[in-house]
Amino acid sequence: MNAIVFHAPHEIGWQSIALPPMTPTSVRVATKLTSISAGTERMTLEGRLPGMPQLRYPLIPGYENVGEVVEVGADVDPAQFKVGDRVFLPGTVRYEGFFSVFGGQVSESISEVQRPIKVPDGISDETALLLALGATAHHGVRDLVPAGNQPSVLVLGQGIVGQLAARMLTEAGAEVTVADTIPFRVGLGEADHFIVVNQESDIPSDSFDVVVEATGNVACFDTAVRALKKHGHLRSLGFYEDIRFAFGPAFIKEIRLDIAGEWDAQDIAATCRFLAAQDDALRQLLTHQLPASDPVRAYGVALRDPECLKIALTW
């Protein structure tokens, strides 16, 4: 099998490695597409990952893998998986000689039956790449629109998580405003109101019941607090090494701050329904496609091109 490997910080390679052995309860998956998670994989490539101070190399990055089952173990119930099923893998398994983290950027994989997520009919391979970040977005917004309410919500950041969060909030009945510094990303958004941010004053003060912070830029927390109404709610949906903001304005407004964590089974089920219902539109968020066999180019585009919203790597 082939794999993209981070040999050390800022060192990307393409390598043939051994496929682990099958077990009676495992499935073998041939990869069709993978994607690059710009936030997590950027941090990993730079040698820093919150919550993992002992990050070591070499490692295989990636946790967005769509493929087809090509072999099942003898004890796998056909009702769970059979040859020909399409699956999403949120990372794979341990590989000898590699630090055990992520593991999704591989041409083929063997995983225990609990790991793959079956991709329902009606979801294209490209849209299926959005499942993990879609579930992350759903986990972060699923409780923000109580039944019968129409809160005003600002989504800061229109990367993939922000794009999907805004769409989910709109579907739930919120009045949604999206904001980003990149006009291209704002133009792809779906919301009630759109802001291209050139300076902080472009975002109105004291105007929103809820702000969803999805930029991944800790400097935006002060912007989020300023945008909130009195007793507003700030939901962190990005991934950060630390969080800092001026305490005084937050104190005066008595804001509520909380952090959305990892998705669960409820989020996966809801996200599958969401992706299937909007497959054609969501497929357009995959702005680039490149071969996985040229990972230096692929990561350069994914992490440095401001008009690359989401990239699909072909295997």
Q: What integer pLDDT is reported at residue 55 of this predicted model?
A: 86
Report if residue 14 sits inside a domain.
Answer: yes
Q: What is the pTM of this model?
A: 0.94
> Looking at residue 44, which CATH number applies to its domain?
3.90.180.10
What's the Rg (C-alpha) of the chain? 20
Q: What integer pLDDT is reported at residue 109 of this predicted model?
A: 96
Q: Give CA 296 to chain center in angstroms.
A: 21
Residues 164 and 107 in one domain: no
pLDDT-flagged residues of the chain (< 50): none
Cα separation, 315 vs 296, whole angstroms: 15
Residues 153 and 223 in one domain: yes
Residues 102 and 138 in one domain: no
Which helix (H) or strand (E) is 210 found in, with range? strand 208-213
Q: Residue 183's domain spans which residues?
A: 134-259
The beta-strand segments (E) located in 227-275 are 228-236, 256-259
Residues 236 and 215 in one domain: yes
Name the domain count of the chain.
Answer: 2
> Looking at residue 149, which CATH number applies to its domain?
3.40.50.720
Residues 124 and 207 in one domain: no
Cα separation, 47 vs 44, whole angstroms: 5
Percent of the chain at pLDDT above 70? Answer: 99
Residues 165 and 108 in one domain: no
Report if residue 232 sits inside a domain.
Answer: yes
Residues 6+ apart with CB under 8 A from 261: 139
Residues 6+ apart with CB under 8 A from 61: 4, 6, 36, 41, 44, 45, 102, 104, 105
Q: What integer pLDDT is reported at residue 203 of this predicted model?
A: 97
